Amino acid sequence: MFEKVLIANRGEIALRVARACRELGINSVAVYSTADAESAVVRFADEAVHIGPPAAGRSYLHIPSLIGAAQKTGADAIHPGYGFLSEDPYFAEICTDEGITFIGPRPEVMEKVGDKATARDLMSKAGLPLLPGTVDPVNTVDDARDIADDIGYPVIIKAVAGGGGRGMTVVNNREELPNEYRSTRATAQAVFKDSNVYIERYLATSRHTEIQLVCDTQGSGVYFGERDCSVQRRHQKLIEEAPSVHLTPEMRKDIGEKAVAGATSIGYSGAGTMEFLLDLDGNLYFMEMNARIQVEHPVSEAITNCDLIQEQIRVAAGEPLSVAQDDVVFTGHAVECRINAEDPDNNFAPTAGRLETYVPPGGPWTRVDSHCYPGWMISPFYDSLIAKLIVWAPDRERAIDRMQRALSEFEISGKGVKTTIPFHQRILQNEQFRSGDVTTDFVEQFMAEEKQLAAAS
Amino acid sequence: MSDADTQPNPDEDFVRSVWEEARDLIKRLEGSTVQRFSVEAAGTKIEIERAMASGGAAPMATVAAPAAAAAAAPAAEGEPELDGRHPVVAPLVGTFYRAPQPGAKPFVEEGDVVDEGQTVAIVEAMKLMNHVKTDQAGKVSEILCSDGDWVEFEQPIMYLDPLGD
């Protein structure tokens, strides 16, 4: 096992990883930019290194400073968290070259997974179901038209290097295709410096369903069930839950086994998530694989009683998974709300500022993953996540009730700071959400209805 | 920049680009005593409130003449000047060296008078030699690190005494 792990991240996930290290008896090293000098993880970790100014390009994304910090402190591994350098094969490779273990898949595997076209191709070969469409990049307008005709409209054009909802365009008919094809390529080139795009069937309504995996370096893998993340706004997840009410135990076992087989077929190791779309007929289609721990991992922890970060660290150290598939028993229902410093009434604009009040909820089966405390400055330099609130209950209805109770306890205030709590509370009261019949266009419709009601009154 | 799960929305791109501009502005304001300013463009308004370095050295005036302020402001955040001494700080995390190569003459010795912009040390990060340059003239009063020491970002590596007029 490692003696000292450097956490190349900030915010709640840095603290989450440091906590896992402490429980495993591993020393932790926090790194911080000037803006994060007073952060919770700097206080909590065994050591801390000041790595740069607030701009991430010169701190959390600056590889020489992170490697330097690891060498200064003698860390034998680096945990990248999520975002920043967590899915950068180049960073993983440099860590390896410097004799530091990167806690994640091997660089060459990460590279394959990070290229969506390659990942789809490999997973298709491993037996995972794909949406009708291309696996290879589409290089000409004529090819694009032929392929779209084969698939049938509407189709979606996606940047191979895209992510986070950027670099994708829905095309409804043949006439729109040439222009949309060209503009998506141009956007892809501008944003991702890679103009390659692929085309697939567009499902107007579907549910975002993802499978959590951890694989060890012995070639074993375990799935920790699925999460439904359909409550999202412009591809930003707001509420995540596990399990999905739309999967039967048989479906869960089938897709879980396929996902593990797919991951192990490419030599994947570490924690990872396979994203699927679930259509209204119950078909799952593989979309992409995320080669990192995800923001919403706690809901899977809540229904399986497994610590995914600890498993991730364990397998990175070369140890086998501490659980076999049969040990993973799914119990009850968990819901997570992402509490962001954003103004839901102003197009979710980020609201940076200093927190005057910060009182998190407590009580049974209520978990808060956060780096915030009264006096903490929510910096405009980084993402707006204040806290992840996770509750568990024996069933979905009671989990939602518990979440409402917990949200009502959460006190956050500060000059200029607005949060997404009121928005979450309104969604949790919504009949359709409570029924479980939620697709990825739910939030958009919900907001349109709210607007209509407001206009009518 | 952050988690793919929390990546910016398309219309946040604009806000982000305004931010880039604001960041450049903030950088240019380093060392000045401007505490608050706002930038407004196409309906997006960004208000900046800067925390001043703690300690008595931080001037309280909202706006001051830039020339006077530059001389008075400490170079490193949270590192107030000690007895009027001015710290020279590490530009990044790395290994400190006093000389351009092993066995060579050190860039400076205690007691040397240095110009603004003069190289006084090297911080090595992943085989790249980063020159540490002074941001003002002065007399080297104390060198705080030895060859091979690891330094952090903005860690003081030497102190300068200001030159008399």
User: Are B39 and B98 in the same domain?
Assistant: no
Task: Using pLDDT thresholds of 50, 70 and 90, give the confidence band for residue A457.
Answer: confident
Residues 6+ apart with CB under 8 A from A456: none
| B91 domain-assigned | yes
Contacts of B77 in chain A (CB under 8 A): 34, 37
Residues B87 and B148 in one domain: yes
> Are B32 and B100 in a shared domain?
no
Chain A: closest CA distance from residue B58 (Å): 18
Whether B67 is covered by a domain: the verdict is: yes
d(CA A330, CA A224): 8
User: What are A374-410's pLDDT values in tens digits?
Assistant: 999 999 999 999 999 999 999 999 999 999 999 999 9
DSSP A352-412: -EE-SEEE---STTEEEEE---TT-EE-TTS--EEEEEEEEESSHHHHHHHHHHHHHH-EE
Q: B81: pLDDT confidence band, cut at 50, 70 and 90?
A: low
A-proximal residues of B, 113-132, CB under 8 Å: 125-126, 128
Q: pLDDT: is A457 or B137 the higher one?
A: B137
CB contact under 8 A, B92 and A50: no
Provide the b/e sequence for A267-302 (b: ≥16 CB within 10 Å): ebbbbbbbbbbbbeeeebbbbbbbbbbbbbbbbbbb
Q: Which pLDDT does position A440 carry in this prediction? A: 94
Q: Under a CB-based contact definition with an 8 Å cutoff, are residues B9 and A236 in contact?
A: yes
**Distance separating alpha carbons of residues A233 and A208, to the nearest angstrom:** 12
Q: Give A 323-382 residues with CB within 8 A of chain B.
A: 347-350, 380, 382
Q: What percent of chain B has pLDDT over 70?
A: 50
- Chain B neighbors of A235, CB-CB under 8 A: 7, 9
Out of B3, B19, B155, the one facing A83 most closely (by C-beta) is B3
Query: Do B152 and B86 share a structural domain?
Result: yes
Last-in-domain residue among B50, B71, B92: B71
- Give the residue with greater pLDDT, A457 vs A144: A144
**Within a domain: B49:** yes
Residue A266's identity, in one-letter code, is I
Radius of gyration of chain A from its Cα atoms, rounded to whole angstroms = 22
pLDDT at A204: 82
Render A43-63 in DSSP notation, one character per residue: HHSSEEEEEE-SSGGGTTT-H
Whole-angstrom distance, CA of residue B50 vs CA of residue A316: 41
pLDDT bracket for residue B30 (50, 70, 90): low
Closest listed residue to residue A221, CA positions, set A309, A317, A308, A323: A323
Average pLDDT over residues A196-211: 93
Q: How confident is the model at residue A164 (pLDDT cuts 50, 70, 90)?
A: low
pLDDT reading at B54 higher than 50: no
Higher local confidence (pLDDT), B13 or A367 = A367
Of A129-138, A236-245, A279-288, A303-312, least confident by mean pLDDT is: A129-138
Predicted confidence band of residue A58 (pLDDT cuts 50, 70, 90): very high
Instruction: Assess whether B95 and B61 both reside in one domain.
Output: no
At which of B13, B43, B71 does a domain end? B71
Chain B CB contacts of A234 under 8 Å are 9-10
| pLDDT at A136 (0 to 100) | 82
Element (DSSP H or E) covering residue B39:
strand B36-41
In sequence order, the 6+-apart residues with CB closer than 8 A to the CB of A433 are A231, A400, A427, A442, A446
Asked if this assembly's ipTM is beyond 0.95, the reply is no
Interchain contact, B7 vs A52, CB within 8 Å? no
Q: What is the pLDDT of residue B28?
A: 60
Averaged pLDDT for residues A220-224? 98
- Same domain for B16 and B87? no
CA distance B101 to chain A (A): 19
Average pLDDT of chain B is 71
Q: Residue A42: pLDDT above 90?
A: yes
Question: How many angstroms away from the CA of A232 is the closest CA of chain B?
Answer: 10
- Is residue A433 within 8 Å of residue A425, measured between CB atoms? no
3-state secondary structure A184-244: HHHHHHHHHCCCCEEEEECCCCCEEEEEEEEECCCCCEEEEEEEEEEEEECCEEEEEEECC
The answer on B132 and B108 residing in a single domain is yes
pLDDT at residue B10 greater than cutoff 50: no
- A61 lies within 8 A of chain B by CB: yes
Q: Residue A310 — pLDDT band, cuts 50, 70, 90?
A: very high
Q: How far is A227 from A282, CA to CA, in rounded Å?
A: 15
Within 8 A by CB and 6+ apart from B103, the residues are: none
A101/B24 Cα distance (integer angstroms): 36
| Chain B residue with Cα closest to A354 | B49
Whether A341 contacts A383, CB under 8 Å? no
- Could you tell me the two tokens for A210? 């993802």
Least confident piece of the model among A214-223, B82-91, B106-115, B131-140: B82-91
- Report d(CA A405, CA A363) in Å as an integer: 10
CA distances, B60 to each of B47, B56, B64, B69, B81 (Å): 19, 9, 9, 11, 16
Point out the residue among A65, A166, A295 whose CB comes nearest to the CB of B93. Answer: A65
Of the three residues B41, B71, B101, the one that is the final residue of a domain is: B71
* B151 and B87 assigned to the same domain: yes
Task: Choose the closest CB to A52 out of B19, B150, B153.
Answer: B153
pLDDT surpasses 80 at B48:
no
In a domain, B77, yes or no: no
The domain containing residue B63 runs over which residues? 4-71
Average pLDDT along chain A = 96
Q: Are A180 and A171 in contact (CB under 8 A)?
A: yes
pLDDT cut 90: percent of chain A above it? 93
Q: Are residues B20 and B42 in the same domain?
A: yes
Distances (CA, A) of A194 to A89, A121, A150, A227: 17, 18, 25, 30
Q: Mean of the pLDDT values across residues A199-216?
A: 94
- Domain presence at residue B136: yes
Is residue A323 over pLDDT 60? Answer: yes
Contacts of B15 in chain A (CB under 8 A): 349-350
pLDDT surpasses 60 at A427: yes
**How far apart (Å, rounded) are the C-alpha atoms in residues A82 and B15?**
23
pLDDT above 70 as % of chain A: 99
Give B16's pLDDT tier (boundaries 50, 70, 90): low
Burial class (CB in 10 A: 0-12, 13-18, 19+), B127: exposed
Contact yes or no for B3 and A56 at CB 8 A: no
- Closest to A49 (Cβ–Cβ): which among B3, B78, B152? B152
On whether any CB of chain B is under 8 Å from the CB of A420, the answer is no
Nearest CA in chain A to B124: A68
The reply to whether B63 touches chain A by the CB within 8 Å rule is no
Q: Which of B3, B6, B8 is nearest to A338 (CA)?
A: B6
- The answer to whether residues B87 and B66 belong to one domain is no
Strands A385-393 and A366-370: antiparallel
Is the per-residue pLDDT at B50 higher than 80?
no
More confident residue, A8 or B21: A8
Write down all domains in chain A, each with its CATH number in brackets: 4-103 (3.40.50.20), 132-201 (3.30.1490.20), 207-456 (3.30.470.20)
| Residue whose structure tokens are 């929305």 | B9
Closest C-alpha to A307, from A2, A14, A16: A16
Enumerate the residues of chain A whose CB falls inside 8 A of the CB of residue B53. Answer: none
Higher pLDDT, B147 or A457: B147
In A230-249, the residues whose Cβ lies within 8 Å of chain B are: 234-237
- The domain that contains B91 carries what CATH number? 2.40.50.100
Question: Looking at residues A267-280, what average pLDDT do you find?
Answer: 97
Mean predicted confidence (pLDDT) in B100-123: 96
DSSP A130: B
Mean pLDDT of A271-285: 96
Residues B99 and B63 in one domain: no
Residue B76 lies in a domain: no
Question: CB–CB of A349 and B15 under 8 A?
Answer: yes
pLDDT at position B110, please? Answer: 97
SS3 helix, strand, coil % of chain A, rounded to 5? 40, 25, 35
Reply yes or no on whether the pLDDT at B2 is more than 90.
no
Q: What is the distance between the alpha carbons of residues A294 and A233, in angstroms, rounded to a whole number?
A: 17
Name the pTM for this structure. Answer: 0.82
Does A90 have pLDDT greater than 70? Answer: yes
Residue A163 host element (H or E): strand A155-163
pLDDT of B63 strictly over 50: no
Q: Indicate the length of chain A as a whole number.
A: 457
- Convert the pLDDT of each residue in A175-201 to its tens digit: 999 999 999 999 999 988 999 999 999
In a domain, B46, yes or no: yes
Interface test with B, best of A6, A338, A383 (most B CBs within 10 A): A383
List of chain B residues whose C-beta atoms are within 8 Å of the C-beta of residue A58:
92
CA distance B90 to chain A (A): 10
Distance CA A8, CA A235 (A): 25
Same domain, B103 and B157: yes
Active site (catalytic) residues of A: 292
What's the total number of domains in chain B? 2
Distance (Å) of CA A360 to CA A340, A382, A399, A402, A450: 14, 21, 18, 14, 28
Where residue B73 falls among pLDDT bands split at 50, 70, 90? Answer: very low
B72 min Cα distance to partner chain A (Å): 21
Q: Which residues does chain B have within 8 Å of residue A83's beta carbon, measured at their own beta carbons?
A: 1-6
pLDDT at B5: 45
Within-domain flag for B122: yes
Question: CA–CA separation, B39 vs B21, rounded Å?
Answer: 9
Cβ–Cβ below 8 Å for B125 and A67: yes
Across the interface, do B153 and A350 touch by the CB < 8 Å criterion?
Answer: no
What are the tokens at B106?
Answer: 């050190």
Q: Percent helix, strand, coil in chain B (nearest 5)? A: 15, 30, 50
